[in-house]
Amino acid sequence: IYKGNYRALERILEKSHKGDIVAIFRYLSHHEKIKTFQILMDVDIEKASDVLYDLDEDLQLEILRSLPLKEAVRILLTFSTGEIAKIIDKLPDELQKHLLEKLEEEEREELEKYISYGESSVASLISEDFISVFEERTVEEVLSIIKTAPEDIEIVYIYVTDKKERLVGVTSIKEILTAPGSVQIKDIMESDVISIKSNATKEEAIDIFRRYDLFILPVVDEEDVLIGVIYIDDILDAITEKTTEDIFKMAGAQEEELFYTNQIIKIAKLRLPWLLVSVFGEIITAFIISIFDFTIKEFLPIIFFLPLLAAISGNISSQSAIIISRGLVTGKIMESFKDFLYYLYREVKVAIVLAFIISGIVGVIATLWLSHHIMGMVISLAIFINMVLAAFSGGLLPYILLRMNRDPLLATGPIVLTVNDIFGILIYLGTATFFLQYLKL
Amino acid sequence: IYKGNYRALERILEKSHKGDIVAIFRYLSHHEKIKTFQILMDVDIEKASDVLYDLDEDLQLEILRSLPLKEAVRILLTFSTGEIAKIIDKLPDELQKHLLEKLEEEEREELEKYISYGESSVASLISEDFISVFEERTVEEVLSIIKTAPEDIEIVYIYVTDKKERLVGVTSIKEILTAPGSVQIKDIMESDVISIKSNATKEEAIDIFRRYDLFILPVVDEEDVLIGVIYIDDILDAITEKTTEDIFKMAGAQEEELFYTNQIIKIAKLRLPWLLVSVFGEIITAFIISIFDFTIKEFLPIIFFLPLLAAISGNISSQSAIIISRGLVTGKIMESFKDFLYYLYREVKVAIVLAFIISGIVGVIATLWLSHHIMGMVISLAIFINMVLAAFSGGLLPYILLRMNRDPLLATGPIVLTVNDIFGILIYLGTATFFLQYLKL
């Protein structure tokens, strides 16, 4: 649109809120992205840094890879060490090398520490935009520190440290405004300050924000030295990422797929393992069905209802699994065995009611259709047993996963559905064979 | 634990952070909850109000229903009108009546307006804890307003209004501190203030917070009059609710289930519709199978692979559906038809690679097992066609749902899996019949 008219673009970028700039970036062509970003860097390097930080990782990498080396290093140096740690591995080798050269010894050590914490650590969320003051400063001195603070720091709390730079308290601008000027900060500060260790996980940080209704959470190292803060708006983004991950996990897919936009084979490789689990599991169901072929040959209509059986018991099992696992994750269901049993028992009771209705309906339809009331009753009974057991196993598994320190939501994934199919079909055909062949009803 | 020793409990409640009090509430027995809450009300009504606000809705209602009528009304009057609107319908009739009597005419009107906005509106998130000043006030006057503001208001921004109480600007404490005392607020304020209308949805509020990295968002009515603010920590809770809702939707379950803890029949009623959809859909599959019974009688092993077929194509279809719908929701995939087509085409290409591998494996196993290479090839071909079509339909549906203004995530629910089963089985048995019966290969 703005072919050539860079002056106008400069003015627009200067005036626009970074959130709006981030939002339009995805709509630009590759060339436009790079050009726009370079102009933004010239106009306002701080804003360019914020925009890059807020972009999705695939766009971040696209821009960093295409910028001239020097420019890429310049913008990366505006990032916090934690944020650099998050993306450095994905940058081209040469850019990595140049960036590392520009970092100071101390920063490099910190960087290595953060990389060792891994993707799930809070490191990438840590911001260095905060104000901390020595505890013996007076209110008046702190007021002048606040007045001269860099413009882009949102001041809500002022952190207080002792002479070893350990976090010892927190206070707010309002308290400072109302206190007499000569009082030392340590006499008005709140010393009961909530903080988080730098090697904590994002999950832990999210929980603390939820529990204590904070805007900003101070981060300390092993010696309680204040090293940064986490802003709640970055937590918001972390939650969105986590949600996407959870939803993908439920289907045995992985989010990274969206990054490898054009690498079909790479995506196929990511997905194949889950499908293979299904394939080999369902080959077992094929063998089970083949074992019962004498029953099937004699009473063919039995297998008409196989897909119905698989669908209904899969459905009721995932409902139980989701209700129990989400209850456990959000804390509505306590981790105590007693509380869990109460909900599991409830799931089974609900399943009995539902199984009674569904198996009744299917039984009536089957009887009328096949004009064979014994086969109708047997199909109905087999569905009933299956549904109740499916609800039981669907509800039990999230708890077992949680006790094994795995994500309970995995219980809704493909493995469980496959295991469900295997047992469901075994029980269904077993029940049918027992009544139709052995009891000769 | 603290049987009888209420004095000690009082002291603990006084000192504890409200987040911690909220966290222990679920572990108390019914009697303990009510008693603890009453003590908390006596010790610190403000904290009691915050605690009640942060509790999950089931616990809120449990407490409100069991408190003496007068006490329940007293604590509810500490709530904002939006929050009352959210729960008033679920309160006992008598409590509703008493509460309405205590409200002023104006508040009652506001309440009715909020109730009419419905559950998805931001109304319940609106807080009345904010500071606004008339635009002609001087910096000095504003400073003294800040100093005398109620203790529990977190002051980050100060909102500026004109003489009709319309929102015209915003400023921060820091700006006020650095400005000369005699300047009018309108000369230092930022007049480009981001706000939201009171009839907006929670979804819209969440988007604004994500986009603009705010801590607090002012809420205005139709005439731009400032009526409240939304705090980001309440948005955090709203996002959690939304996530739970999404995850439940994927399994055809509903979150409210967790509230009706002991009402088995009520829960069964909530879940029955989805199961019935599956039942009737799968009865169609039963008819389809019965139509092909001549093929099945002749080539029984064909049906050994029915569960495998249903599982694999269900799996690949939900993967496509989740990737496309999540991509659309998070904006990684644009809503433009062209961009969507690109990703759909990609899904189909991935499916072709996967289908090639999976159908190859199944084909080899079937041929070796059944010693009938034509049947093996036919099974393999039918699985191949099915997988590719499943990926195509799984990827297409979220886009159609989005265009119909429905949640694209519904595409992973039970209805789609059922429809998938119907077409999958039809195609599978159709292909097998065509090759085995008509072509007599």
**What residues of B are in contact with residue A301 (Cβ under 8 Å)?**
290
Whether B151 maps to a domain, the answer reads yes
Three-state SS for A26? coil
Q: Find the CATH number of the domain harbouring B105.
A: 1.25.60.10
Confidence at residue A251, expressed as pLDDT on a 0 to 100 scale: 63
Q: Is the pLDDT of residue B379 over 60?
A: yes
Q: Are residues B246 and B265 located together in one domain of the fold?
A: no
Q: Is the pLDDT of residue B254 over 70?
A: no
When the pLDDT of each residue in chain B is averaged and rounded to a whole number, the result is 84
Whether A122 maps to a domain, the answer reads no
pLDDT: which is higher, B19 or B308: B308
Confidence at residue A217, expressed as pLDDT on a 0 to 100 scale: 92
Q: Find the CATH number of the domain harbouring B133.
A: 3.10.580.10
Whether B122 maps to a domain, the answer reads no
For B220, list phi and psi in degrees, rounded to 5.
-125, 155
Q: Is the pLDDT of residue A256 over 80?
A: no
Taking the C-alpha atoms of residue B350 and residue A426, their distance in angstroms, rounded to an integer, is 33
Confidence at residue A10, expressed as pLDDT on a 0 to 100 scale: 80
Q: In which domain, by residue range, is A403 found? A: 256-438
Confidence at residue B79, expressed as pLDDT on a 0 to 100 scale: 85
Confidence at residue A336, expressed as pLDDT on a 0 to 100 scale: 76
Residue tagged 């509903």 (tokens): B254
Whether A1 maps to a domain, the answer reads no
pLDDT: which is higher, A98 or A244: A98
Whether A241 maps to a domain, the answer reads yes
Q: Are residues A31 and A109 located together in one domain of the fold?
A: yes
The predicted-structure confidence for A19-50, as pLDDT tens digits, reads as follows 888 888 877 888 888 888 888 888 888 888 88
Taking the C-alpha atoms of residue B183 and residue B172, their distance in angstroms, rounded to an integer, is 15
In this prediction, residue B225 has a pLDDT band, given cuts at 50, 70 and 90, of very high
Confidence at residue A359, expressed as pLDDT on a 0 to 100 scale: 93
Asked if A177 reaches chain B (Cβ–Cβ under 8 Å), the answer is yes
Whether B201 maps to a domain, the answer reads yes
The predicted-structure confidence for B34-59, as pLDDT tens digits, reads as follows 888 888 888 888 888 888 888 887 78
In this prediction, residue A4 has a pLDDT band, given cuts at 50, 70 and 90, of low
Confidence at residue B260, expressed as pLDDT on a 0 to 100 scale: 53
CB A146 to CB B310 under 8 A? no
The predicted-structure confidence for B70-91, as pLDDT tens digits, reads as follows 888 888 888 888 888 888 888 8
Q: Are residues B98 and B172 located together in one domain of the fold?
A: no
What is the mean pLDDT of the segment spanning A393-405?
A: 86
Confidence at residue A257, expressed as pLDDT on a 0 to 100 scale: 57
Q: Which residues contact B308 (CB under 8 A, 6 or more apart)?
A: A278, A279, A282, A283, A285, A286, B362, B383
CB B350 to CB A268 under 8 A? yes
User: Helices A264-291 and A414-433 meet at what angle, rounded to 10?
Assistant: 10
Confidence at residue A195, expressed as pLDDT on a 0 to 100 scale: 92
Tokens (6 digits) for B422: 């119907």
**Which sign, positive or negative, has the C-alpha torsion B403, B406, B411, B414?**
negative
Asked if B301 reaches chain A (Cβ–Cβ under 8 Å), the answer is yes
Length of chain A equals 441
Nearest CA to CA, how far is A165 from chain B (Å)? 24
Confidence at residue B385, expressed as pLDDT on a 0 to 100 scale: 92
Q: Are residues B21 and B97 located together in one domain of the fold?
A: yes
CA atoms within 13 A on the CB side of B43: 21
The predicted-structure confidence for A269-312, as pLDDT tens digits, reads as follows 878 887 888 889 889 999 999 999 888 888 888 888 988 988 88
Q: Are residues A388 and A291 located together in one domain of the fold?
A: yes
pLDDT: which is higher, B151 or A53: A53
In this prediction, residue A416 has a pLDDT band, given cuts at 50, 70 and 90, of confident
ipTM: 0.74
- In percent, the amount of chain B with pLDDT more than 70 equals 94
Confidence at residue B230, expressed as pLDDT on a 0 to 100 scale: 92
Question: Which amino acid is located at A13 in the chain?
Answer: L
Q: Are residues B104 and B137 located together in one domain of the fold?
A: no
Q: Are residues B194 and B303 located together in one domain of the fold?
A: no
Q: Is the pLDDT of residue A245 over 90?
A: no
Confidence at residue B440, expressed as pLDDT on a 0 to 100 scale: 65
pLDDT: which is higher, A163 or A155: A163
pLDDT: which is higher, B439 or B428: B428
When the pLDDT of each residue in chain A is averaged and rounded to a whole number, the result is 84
Asked if B252 reaches chain A (Cβ–Cβ under 8 Å), the answer is yes
- Cβ neighbourhood burial of A153 (10 Å; 0-12, 13-18, 19+): middle
Residue tagged 């897909």 (tokens): A307
The predicted-structure confidence for B120-132, as pLDDT tens digits, reads as follows 788 888 888 888 8
Q: Are residues A405 and A277 located together in one domain of the fold?
A: yes
Q: Is the pLDDT of residue B258 over 60?
A: no
The predicted-structure confidence for A363-377, as pLDDT tens digits, reads as follows 999 999 888 888 888
Q: Find the CATH number of the domain harbouring A406.
A: 1.10.357.20
Contact call for residues B248 and A322 (beta carbons, < 8 A):
yes
Tokens (6 digits) for A248: 């993908």
Contact call for residues B220 and B198 (beta carbons, < 8 A):
yes
Chain A segment 318-357 residues within 8 A of B by beta carbon are 318-319, 321-323, 326-327, 330-334, 346, 349-350, 353-354, 357
**What residues of A are in contact with residue B296 (Cβ under 8 Å)?**
300, 303
Chain A segment 127-156 residues within 8 A of B by beta carbon are 143, 146-147, 149, 154-156
**What residues of A are in contact with residue B308 (Cβ under 8 Å)?**
278-279, 282-283, 285-286
What is the mean pLDDT of the segment spanning A399-428?
A: 81
Domain tally, chain B: 3
Contact call for residues B2 and B13 (beta carbons, < 8 A):
no
pLDDT: which is higher, B430 or B10: B430
Looking at A226, A250, A274, which one is the last position of a domain? Answer: A250
Confidence at residue B340, expressed as pLDDT on a 0 to 100 scale: 84
Q: Are residues B209 and B86 located together in one domain of the fold?
A: no
Q: Is the pLDDT of residue A120 over 70?
A: yes
Three-state SS for B129? coil
pLDDT: which is higher, A439 or B142: B142
CB B417 to CB A22 under 8 A? no
Looking at A117, A139, A171, which one is the last position of a domain? Answer: A117
Whether B1 maps to a domain, the answer reads no
Nearest CA to CA, how far is A88 from chain B (Å)? 22
Looking at A250, A271, A304, which one is the last position of a domain? Answer: A250
Q: Are residues A75 and A149 located together in one domain of the fold?
A: no
Q: Are residues B107 and B195 located together in one domain of the fold?
A: no
Whether B227 maps to a domain, the answer reads yes
What is the mean pLDDT of the segment spanning A233-259?
A: 72
Site from B304, B305, B348, B379 to mutate, A interface, most A CB atoms within 10 angstroms:
B304
What is the mean pLDDT of the segment spanning B226-237?
A: 88
What is the mean pLDDT of the segment spanning B217-224?
A: 91
Q: Are residues B242 and B321 located together in one domain of the fold?
A: no
